[in-house]
Structures are given as structure tokens and as C-alpha cells.
Chain A
Amino acid sequence: MARPHTVLAGGTDFYPARVGRAIEEDVLDIGAIGVLRGISSVSEGWRLGATTTWSELLEADLPPLFDGLKQAAREVGGRQIQNAGTLAGNVCNASPAADGVPCLLALEAEVELASRTATRRVPLGRFITGVRRTARAPDELVVAIHIPKPGHEARSAFLKLGARRYLVISIAMVAATLEIANGRVANARIAVGACSAVAQRLPALESALAGAPLDGRLADRIDPTHLAPLTPIDDVRGSADYRADSALVLLRRLLAGFAP
């Protein structure tokens, strides 16, 4: 770990970045490290080992809190990618369009990092610092992603917009976790991806939802100003205006979907 190296997990981001050229850098393959595997339930929540793949997540027996993340898992690439790609790789790769990130933000995920000498935990929102930039030091590994247990019964959901059915990079995607108490929203966490350099939570919308009855009118609480943290750009997949518009549409649909 002392020499400069690149970490290799599922390889689904690693190899596509190296088409048609020799791979000469030092590579640390973490695929076979036992302690990085698997999903476990611990007292304060859940631990997703770093090499947990999308498929393993889908097959795991998890509460409705994870439904959104599972929906994202189903929409990542195709089956091949889901079978190989890891959640931690998705987070470390720090693409603005990483489908796992908004879900994990809405789950208040923390990233556990370890070096030879120390371990630390960083909230995901502070871990990803920019386009393909993270707070990980070169000698650190992400060893797990932690999901805290919510205070109330909780449900989550995810919606993705892409220009074709499978294998598609998101134009925009939205994720929400709602904690529910007495038929009302006790706590809401909403995040939007692909509409800013790093996926963003929408605190104003979250406040507007707090206390709202869990019914078909949830989506009416959305105001376009709640999307102010987003800074969408134009690219080959869509215009900035379109992204902003679509994020709003997706959020409305996402919230409407929570109605019993």
C-alpha cells in the first residue's frame, strides 16, 4: 500500500478507462479479501462490505429502507455489470452520474476508510468532493459503507431517466428516504444525481416534507425553488434546462409513488 497504486474491485470502471492501452500501473486487487465481503446487520445499522456487488445487494434480505437502493441496483448497466460492479467502486469512482450515490445520500451512508495505521468514517456527502474526486487518501481503502438505522419505520425509492432501456448513463436520477410515523413524514431525505458535479441533497424540500401526511398530495409540496442546489449542465445526453425540468418531474413522481 506504500507505493502509488490503483485499487481494483469489480473492474467495471477500471477497465473501460483503459481501452487500447497497456496497463502498466501497480494495481491492488481487493476482490479476494474476505473481510471486505458481504452485508451484515449490526446494532447501529447495516454494514455493506466494500466488495458487495449490485447483485449481492439485490439478493440480500433487507428491509424496505433499501428498496430505493435495490431499484438503483436493477438499473445499473446490465446483468453483467451488476454481477461484477461494487457499490464502493461506484462511490469511489465519483462519477456525477453514479446511480448509487443519490440513494446512499438519502440513506445517510457513511464511508469507512482504512489505511495501514488508522481507520475513519466519513459521511458520503463529504467523501465525494468533486467530479471523480474523493476525500480518500492514496494509502486508504474503502472497507465498507455503513447505513444507519433510521429512527422510525422507513421506506425509500429511486427513479432514473435515461435515453434507452438498459446500459444507460443517467440523464438525471432521484432518490428519497422517508421515515414515517403516525401516517406522516417524520423525516425526509431527498437527493438528486447527474444534475450537479456531485449528487445533492435538497434540504429545503426535505423540510417542506417534514410533517406532511403520507398521501397522494406529497408531491404538491415540491416547489421549483427547492431544486436550487442543482447546477445542471449541457452535454450529449441532455440540456441543462431539460435536466432541471426532468429532475422536478422525477421528484414529483417519486413522491407520488410513496402514497399508500
Chain B
Amino acid sequence: MKVAFTLNGAAAAWTGPPVTRLAAALRNDLGLTGTKIGCDAGDCGACTVLLDGRQVCACLVAIGQVEGRSVETVEGLAGADGTLALLQKSFLARGAAQCGICTPGMLMAAEELLRRVSRPDRRAIEDALGGVLCRCTGYTKIVDAVLSASVQMPTVTPEAGAAVGARMARVDGQAKVTGRDIFGADGIPPDALWIRVVRSPYDRSRFALGDLAPLRRRLAAVLTASDVPFNGFGIYPEIKDQPVLADGIVRYRGEAVLALVGTRAYVLAVRDDEVPIVWTAEPPVIGIDAATAADAPLVQADRPKNLLLDGGVRHGDAAAAFTGCAAVAEGVFETAFVEHAYIEPEAGWAERVGDRIEIHVTTQTPYMDRDEIANVMRLKPESVRIVPTACGGGFGGKLDLSIQPLVAIAAWLLKRPVACVYTRPESMAATTKRHPARISAKFGCDAQGKLVACDVSATFDTGAYASWGPTVANRVPVHAMGPYAVPHVQTWGEAFFTNGPPAGAFRGFGVPQAAIAHEAMMDELADKLGIDSAGLAQCLDALRPGWQRAHAEAAAFNAKGGVKRRGVGIGCMWYGIGNTSMSNPSRIRVGLSPAGTLTLYNGAVDIGQGSNTILTQIAADALGLPAAQFTLVAGDTDLTADAGKTSASRQTFVSGKAAEKAGLDLRQQILRLANAGPGAVLSLRDTRLSVRDGAEVRVLDLSTAGTLIGEGTFDPPTTPLDADGQGIPYATYAFAAQMAEVEVDTELGTVKVLRIVAAHDVGKAINPTLVEGQIEGGIAQGLGLALMEEFLPGRTENLHDYLIPTVGDVPEIECILIEDREPLGPSGAKGVGEPGLVPTAPAILGAVHHATGVRAHRVPLLPHRLRGAIVSLRGTRA
């Protein structure tokens, strides 16, 4: 059928089946990839477009229904000459786009509203944006951007030497607010073949493949385990335990078994029952208790007791010290599998170029991907090129391989580009999760509230494969005592294999789970001693006035009686930046070409957190030229050096330091060429670089000077930990405290978070807007962890059964940035990526306790769980 309609004001026509989703038609046939697909099910709103001026999900509209109507997409917002609309400018200036995958949908939803109401209030904005999920920003800056869309903010273009500390707009932001940014699914060549992965419907099963010949006749290829040169991958060099394609046995629901390769329409049309697999399901090992039972079946045959690893920290004599404590608190806390729920599912494509394979993929870690693909394909690392696309959110979930080995192997064998884009259910079922934890904590203090001893033991469900399990099990014992000086410490971490999804890296590597335990203990000790819990922690001065106000307000509210009760809680945390006692170097280059182009060669992937901008700001000031003169080459393993993975909150601190050194190195070279002193002032115009040293000005003609490259490397100094876990695990730590105010409906068990005040020591806020964005986004995820998020294989594999906070769930957030300079860090900065999330759940749970007397021992504290706890606390069902 031919469909004629108006697209962004111009006549458009499309031919094909009328039941085709509008989103697919726009993206695949009309070349408008600004409309994003996060779920194809109406749940995320990334595909929001205007149909006759009303916002709709383009993934739910039949193209046949747009006949004769008007469709507007993000590409239509800017003027014909490319001038950004005020709304786009506002998003850019206010930091409303982080990864940018939700941005087109947000913009269109806001556009619908702003056409009707030019100055909407917060409530109207929430109603208008309620259907678009953002996993990065915590919505705060998005709402601000819409609230003040009509007020143009001056563009911040810092002078040379003034970039650090400036609220510069993201250097990659323009593409994000115009829909031009190319994410994993956006740049796929039209002639690429497509992969659909056939996955295990069982938690644990043996299987036999039947005759694949009929399928192979219809498709370009059907890949099985035997097509994978080395069928094992994993984060640790010595633990390559996860097969690319399962070989006769599956260990979790969603595990990849076969890859169907063919044209897109063909592979989608293959029905699961046409794939000949005979399953012999076995009783699965689900949960920690099942994994540690005496007669537990083994998840991996060569892993006795299902144990991945264990270890701990010991200092002083905790057992003896408890006997002398004035107060002791004890408790056991359990958390669930949590899904990253980035709005961009895994996506990318590969192409064989001679004897090399090039992979374009959404990833957090190009160099690890390169080495892993080389290992899986039995190639040299130099034969693999990773070209990271824009990354629509990662949070740790895009540190493990997903589509990479499948598209690489298929493209290699077929000598054609091959693409793969996970569906939302597939992304949720197949990829890693936050580790479920069971944490037993015991803390003791003296009569003044000074901590004396702690004993914390954390047991993790690491799922079917190791992934980042060792990292979590190592990091948690080091952090489990909380950000407090405790003379007698005993901590333990252990991780067990189960037939759950592989648990991997997720913002905080287990520390958020541990913080729930240690902060509940701080509350209880304070209660026992009758002291204000804010008195227990350090670094809380910033919260103190707010704490008193919040307590007074809650008390006044509760005095009125009624079923709603308010409470105030506090959460504190510390977080070691970078890998635990392991080298994690970064290398950054800054180049000045004969054409006068100043380039930051940045191997650190910006997954939305802003490293492209932060590193530019740092390098600019180190060099002494304005940040605006930099161009960026990011991520590509052929063009940039290894700056490690975007994880462990390390890019500002580690890669930032490398960028600072690279900038300084280039500056040294320039000063040497110009024979100028250290205080010289640089300025660059076309190919003329002038160096002013006092009264003297020298001009270097770059076209004759040859390419100048400054390079910097940094590896944070740490030492290995001894048998007692003592040593220097991290070169620096971030500290934070957050206060939450909540209102609990005691009859329904629902919790409304009213306000969060977050005080974070970030060393130096290189870009305060981006720093706040990290904190606000972390808070939204912490809120989800505390109140709504629980991944259950087979049951919550979509974004309507698995709930993440919407714009209406995240409260007003006040960020207080504390700049306690870290001498090692670039301009004194440390990391902030993960710390935003860690104290939030403890603060909210503490506030719920304050409001109701219920101490949550299991998260998420879903309404029915809280209601149940309130009922049993009161001993009646009143």
C-alpha cells in the first residue's frame, strides 16, 4: 500500500504493508533515525512523535493510519537553516540530555505541551512527559529545561584557562538534541544482514539440535557453538566461562543458543517452533539458598560448591570488641536482581575489511571488547577494530559482550555486514543484572556513639556466569563498614553461581547493596543510644540545617494524624574510585595538526555521563586554549589510545588526569618551540599559534611545524591487599550523604519521596551541570532500587512489568557540591558516576522507618511488602 502524508511539513510517501510500525518506517525507510526505539511496546516513549500535533508512540502507530495526516519528528524541530529551537537550546544549556537516547521523545512530548501552554507549570510538564522514560538524568534537568524553555540561557563559552568549573554545554550535545547522534541501531548499512538470536526458554536445560538444513536453506547462515572459534568469554583473563552460543547445555533463561542470520524480514519471520531444538529441562538452582544447599547441583561442573570466590577484610579483633560495646545492632538485608534498563537496547553491526573485523557497537569499553573479540575469534587484537557508536546508557550493563561476537563471527564468515539489535525483552533476559545480595551486618559502638566494631558478611547470587562477580565480591568487603573509622573490622564477601541471569557490573559494584545494610545499622545504633543519626557520620555538615527543618516539618505533619505519615532519613557512603587494587591506566592524546585543528583523542567512552566534555575542559585548561577550539575523536580503537573502561567512576579521575597530562605535554612542546616561559599565553587562529610571554609574542606557523601530539597516561597508585584485606585498594575515595523526606500512605503501603538533598564531595566539579546530572540520575536509580525494581526472569522482561521511576516519581533534588580537593586528581577532581546512587536507597529506607517504624529488610520495598510490614508491626489489620 502507498501511504501519503506530511512529514515535518513536507509531502512524504511510503510504500509497504500498512501494518508496519510508523517508527520502523521512519527509521528504516525514510532515513529519520532521530526517532528511537527502546521497547517497541509503548513503554519507554523514546519513539514519541507528533501525529496531527498530538504525541503518540511511533512504535504503536500503523503507518496505514497516517495517510493524509501530519507526522512531526525531532528532525523537524530545528529551523531549515539548522538553528535550534528554543526548546532544544534549553535542553542543551541545562544539561537535559545525557546519553540522549530519550531526548528526541522528551523533546516531542514537551513540544506538544508547549504549543498548547507556553509557560506550563511543573505538574503540567510531568503529565506531558509521564510517558517518556529517562534512565540517566533523574528528570530534574529535563523538567527545568521545559519549565524555562522560553527563557534563553546565555551560551557558556569559557575563555582559555577558564573551562574547568564552567557549566559548559556538552561538546557532543548538539547531535543529541537534533536526533543526529548515531546510536548502535542508527548507522546500520542498508545491505546488512540481520541476526536473530534463539534463546533458552529454560533456566537450566540440556538440549540437542535437530536438522538445521531446512533453516539453513532459507537463511544466509545458522550459527551454532561449533562456529565459534573459542567459545568462552568473560571479564577476567582466567575466567572465560560464558559461551557465545551454548553448547548442549543452558544455564539461564535467555542464554543464546543459535544465531539466525538472513535478511531482516526473513529472520523475524522464523517462528520459534520452526527451530529444531529438543530441550531436556533440569531442576534449576534458583537463589543463594539453593546454590549453597548441601546437595545442590552444580551450575558449572568445575566449580565446586557453586562458589565463584570469597574473601574479606580483617582489622583488630571484632568478635572480642563487641563485648565491650555500649550498643550493638544486627540485621540481615536482602536485595533483588536489578536491571540496568538503559533505554537503548544492545545494538550494532560488523563488517569484514580484508583480514580485519570492524565492529560498530554501543559499548562502555572498546578496548576490552577488542581483546575479547580477538580471543573469541582467534585473531590478533590488532585485527579487530571497535568503533563505539553513541551509547544510550550503560550503567555497567554494556561492559560485557552482547551482540559483538555474534555480528563479528557472522560478518567474518559471510563477508557481508551483519547487524543485530536486541529487542527489549531480549535485552532484559540475556544481559547482566545487579547482584542480589544477602548481607548480615552487626555494628557496635561506645556510649558516645563512636563505632568500635563491625562484622559484615555479604553473599551474592552471581547467576550463571562469572562476569564481574569477582569485582563485586572484592569491592564490597572493602566498603562494607561504611565511610566510618571502625577500629575492629571483620568483613566477608562471597559469590555463588545459580541458574539466574549473569550478575555483572551495575553502578556501584555491590556497594549500594552494602550501604543499605550499614546505614540501617547506623540508624539503629543512633536509636538505641537516643542520638540524632546525623551525629554519627562525618561530612554531614551541609545537611544539618536541612535535617532540622525536615524533622520539624515531618513532626508537624504527623501531629495532624491521619493515614499518611512523613519521615526523614539519611544515607552516607564512601566509594573507592577505579579498580580495586588493580592497575587501570588511561592514555589520552591531544593533537595539533598542521591545518590548525586541535583534537582530543579520547578513548574513554562517553555513555552519557559527560566524559567527552569533562576531558575537553581539563585538556583545554592544561594546554591553555579555549575548550571551544577542540574537536573530538572518541572511542575508536584505531584512532585513540586505551583509556580503560567507563566504569568504577574512573573517567574523570583517571582519564581526566591523563587528559590533563596530555594537555600539559602539548603545552610544553609548544613553549619549547616558541622558547617561551611557563606563564605564556597561547592563542590559536587557523594555522597560526601565537605565544605571548610577557611583552613578547611569537607566532608559530603550524603548517610548517608538523603535527604536534601531547600524550598523558595515568594509573592510580594502589597496592595489592594482603590476606587480611589490608593495603591501598584505591587512590582516592568519593564521599557523600543524602537526606530523603518521604510520605508513606500507611493504608496502602505506598511511598512518595518528597525531596532529596544530596551533599557530595567531588574533589572539584569540573562541570557542575554534569556533576549534578550524575547525582540526580543516580538518585533516580537509587529510588528504583529502594522502592520498585525487581527483575524476575520470565516475568518482568519488559518495561511495564519491570518498573523504573517516571518523571512523576522522582522528587525535587537539591545538590550540594563539596569541593575537597584531591591532590592526585585533575584540578583536584575525583569521580561521581556511581556515588550518586549509593546513599539514596538507605536514605529513603531510613525515612520510611522514621515515618512508620518499619525497617526494610528486603528491597524493593513494594507497596504490598511495606503494607504487610506495617500490619505486622501494629499487630492488627486496621
Q: Which residues of A contact B (CB under 8 A)?
A: 8, 10-12, 14-16, 19-24, 27, 29, 31-32, 55, 74, 77-81, 83-84, 161, 163-169, 171, 236-239, 241-242, 245-246, 249-250
Residues of chain A lying within 8 A (CB to CB) of residue B39:
19
Q: List 30 A-B contacts (CB under 8 A).
A: A8-B19, A11-B65, A12-B57, A12-B60, A14-B60, A15-B41, A16-B42, A16-B798, A19-B39, A19-B424, A24-B269, A29-B19, A32-B67, A55-B54, A78-B130, A79-B127, A80-B55, A80-B60, A81-B57, A83-B54, A83-B55, A163-B750, A165-B809, A169-B801, A236-B796, A237-B801, A237-B862, A238-B862, A238-B863, A242-B749
The residues of A that contact B131 with a CB separation of less than 8 Å are 77-81, 166-167
Given contacts A79-B131, A164-B803, A242-B867, contact A29 B112 (CB under 8 A): no
B301 at the interface (CB under 8 A from A): no
Residue of B nearest to A83 (CB): B54
Contact partner of A79 among B21, B43, B128, CB < 8 A? B128
Q: Is the CB of A22 within 8 A of B265?
A: yes
Contact of A29 among B56, B65, B795 (CB under 8 A): B65
The answer on a CB contact under 8 Å between A16 and B54 is: no
Q: Give the contacting residue for B42; candidates A80, A236, A249; CB below 8 A.
A: A80
Which residues does chain A contribute within 8 Å of B867, judged by CB atoms? 242, 245-246
Chain B residues closer than 8 Å to A241, beta-carbon distance: 864, 868
- Interface pair B42/A166, CB less than 8 Å apart: no
Of the candidates A20, A84, A168, which one forms a contact with B425 in the assembled complex, judged by CB atoms under 8 Å apart?
A: A20
Selected from B56, B271, B807, the residue in CB contact (under 8 A) with A166 is B807
Distance between B786 CB and nearest chain A CB, rounded to angstroms = 12
Bound: A242/B862 CA distance, A = 11
- State A164–B868 Cα separation when bound (angstroms): 18
**Quick check: B59 and A15 within 8 Å, CB to CB?**
yes
Q: Are B747 and A19 in contact (CB under 8 A)?
A: no
- The interface residues of chain B lying within 8 Å CB-to-CB of A165 are 126, 130, 806-809
Pick the residue among B43, B51, B126, B423 that contacts A20 (CB under 8 A): B423
Question: Please, how many angstroms separate the alpha-carbon atoms of A153 and B19 in the complex?
Answer: 44
Which chain B residues border A23 with CB–CB below 8 Å?
Answer: 17, 19
Cross-interface CB contact of A168 among B132, B748, B803, cutoff 8 Å: B803
Q: How far is the CA of A24 from the CA of B268 in the complex (A)?
A: 11
Question: How far, in Å, is B218 (CB) from chain A's closest CB?
Answer: 13
Asked whether B55 lies within 8 Å of A20 as measured between CB atoms, the reply is no
Q: Which 4 A-B pairs have the closest CB atoms?
A: A78-B131, A165-B808, A166-B130, A242-B864
Binary contact track B651-674/A, C-beta < 8 Å → 1, others 0: 000000000000000000000000
Which of B51, B787, B796, B806 has the largest count of A CB atoms less than 10 A from its CB?
B806
Q: Does B788 contact A (CB under 8 A)?
A: yes
**B868 contacts A239, CB within 8 Å?**
yes
Give the nearest-CB partner of A16 in chain B. Answer: B41
Docked pose: A8 CA to B20 CA in angstroms: 12
Shortest CB-to-CB span from A50 to chain B, Å, is 14
Given contacts A78-B806, A80-B45, A165-B807, 4 further A-B contacts (CB under 8 A): A11-B61, A12-B42, A29-B65, A79-B55
**B864 to A15, Cβ gap below 8 A?**
no
List of A residues within 8 angstroms of B796 by Cβ: 236
For residue B108, which residue of chain A has the nearest CB? A80
List chain B residues, Cβ under 8 A from A77: 42, 131
Q: Is the CB of B41 within 8 A of A19?
A: yes
Say whether A171 contacts B42, CB under 8 Å: no
Residues in A whose Cβ lies below 8 Å from that of B708: none
Q: Are B747 and A236 in contact (CB under 8 A)?
A: no
The smallest beta-carbon distance between A72 and chain B, in angstroms, is 15
CA of A163 to CA of B866, assembled, Å? 12
Contact check, B809 vs A164: say whether CB atoms are below 8 A apart: yes
Determine whether the beta carbon of B67 is less than 8 Å from that of A84.
Answer: no
How many pairs of A and B residues are in contact by the CB < 8 Å rule?
162
How distant is the Cα of A29 from the Cα of B127 in the complex, in angstroms? 29
Within 8 A of A (CB), among B782-837: 787-788, 790, 792, 795-796, 798, 800-801, 803, 805-809
Chain A residues within an 8 Å CB radius of B767:
none
* A residues near B42, Cβ cutoff 8 Å: 12, 15-16, 77, 80-81
Cβ contacts under 8 Å, B126 to chain A = 165-166
Chain B residue with the shortest CB-CB distance to A55:
B54
Report if A78-B803 is in contact (Cβ < 8 Å); known contacts: A15-B59, A29-B19. no
Query: Do the beta carbons of B801 and A236 come within 8 Å of each other?
Result: yes
Is B64 an interface residue when CB atoms closer than 8 A count as contact? yes
Residues of A within 8 A of B51 (CB): 83
Bound: A22/B271 CA distance, A: 9
> By the criterion CB–CB under 8 Å, are B21 and A15 in contact?
yes
Asked if residues B60 and A15 are in contact (CB atoms below 8 Å), the reply is yes
User: In the complex the two chains form, is B41's CB within 8 Å of A29's CB?
Assistant: no
CB < 8 Å: which of A32, A74, A80 contacts B57?
A: A80
B426 at the binding interface (Cβ < 8 Å): yes
Q: Which residue of B lies closest to A23 (CB)?
A: B19
Whether B18 is near chain A, meaning CB under 8 Å from some CB there, is: yes
B40 within 8 A of A: yes
Q: Is the CB of B43 within 8 A of A84?
A: no
Which residues from chain B contact A169 at a C-beta distance below 8 Å? 800-801
Asked whether any CB of chain A lies closer than 8 Å to the CB of B109, the reply is: yes
Residue of A19, A246, A249 most packed against chain B (CB within 10 A): A19
Which residue of chain B lies nearest to A166 when distances are taken between CB atoms in the complex?
B130
Docked Cα-Cα span, A246 to B746, in Å, equals 11
Q: Contact: A19 with B423, CB < 8 Å?
A: yes
Interface pair B864/A239, CB less than 8 Å apart = yes
Instruction: Please tell me which one of the listed residues A29, A55, A80, A236 contacts residue B48 in the complex, with CB atoms under 8 A apart.
Output: A80
| Beta-carbon contact of A79 and B112 below 8 Å | yes
Decide yes or no: A164 and B57 within 8 Å by CB, A32-B67, A249-B748 being known contacts: no
Q: Is the CB of B806 within 8 A of A164?
A: yes
A245: chain B residues at CB < 8 Å are 867, 877
A residues less than 8 Å from B59 (CB atoms): 15
| Residues of B close to A163: CB separation below 8 A | 750, 787-788, 803, 862-863
CA distance A23 to B21 in the complex (A): 10
Q: Which residue of A lies closest to B749 (CB)?
A: A242
Q: Which residues from chain A contact B55 at a C-beta distance below 8 Å?
A: 79-80, 83
Q: Is B628 engaged at the interface, CB distance under 8 Å to the other chain?
A: no
Across the two chains, which residue of chain A brings its CB closest to B18? A29
A12 to B748, CA, bound (A): 29
Enumerate chain A residues within 8 angstroms of B787, measured Cβ to Cβ. Answer: 163
Return the CB mask of B59-87 against A: 1 if under 8 Å, else 0.
11110110100000000000000000000
Q: Tell me the bound Cα distance from A103 to B269 in angstroms.
A: 40
Q: Is the CB of B423 within 8 A of A84?
A: no
Q: Which residues of chain A are within 8 angstroms of B803 by Cβ–Cβ distance?
A: 163-164, 168
B788-A164 in contact (CB<8A): yes
A27 vs B18: C-alpha distance in the bound complex, in angstroms? 9
Which residues of B are found within 8 Å of A10, using beta-carbon distances? Answer: 60
CB of B40 within 8 A of CB of A166, answer: no
- B801 and A242: CB pair below 8 A? no
Q: Are B130 and A79 closer than 8 Å at their CB atoms?
A: yes
Q: Are A78 and B45 in contact (CB under 8 A)?
A: yes
Interface residues of B in 850-878 (CB under 8 A from A): 862-864, 867-868, 877
Measured between alpha carbons, how far is A21 from B362 in the docked complex, in Å?
23
* Inter-chain contacts of A161 with B (CB < 8 A): 748, 750, 863
A16 touches B60 (CB 8 A): yes
Pair A19/B40 contact, Cβ less than 8 Å:
yes
Cβ–Cβ < 8 Å partners of B18 in chain A: 29
Who on chain A is nearest to B109 by CB? A79
Measured CB to CB, the closest approach of chain B to A222, in angstroms, equals: 14
Chain B CB count within 10 A is highest, among A10, A166, A169, for A166
Report the minimal beta-carbon distance from A71 to chain B, rounded to whole angstroms.
13
The answer to whether B748 and A167 touch across the interface, beta carbons within 8 angstroms, is no
Bound Cα distance from A19 to B868, whole angstroms: 36
Is A166 in contact with B62, judged by CB distance below 8 angstroms?
A: no
Q: Which residue of A lies closest to B787 (CB)?
A: A163
Assembled-state Cα–Cα distance A245/B806 (Å): 26
Report chain A residues within 8 Å CB of B868.
Answer: 239, 241-242
Selected from A8, A19, A83, A242, the residue in CB contact (under 8 A) with B56 is A83
Identify the interface centre among A11, A245, A246, A250: most chain B CB within 10 Å of its CB: A11
Within the complex, the shortest CB–CB distance from B806 to chain A, in Å, comes to: 4
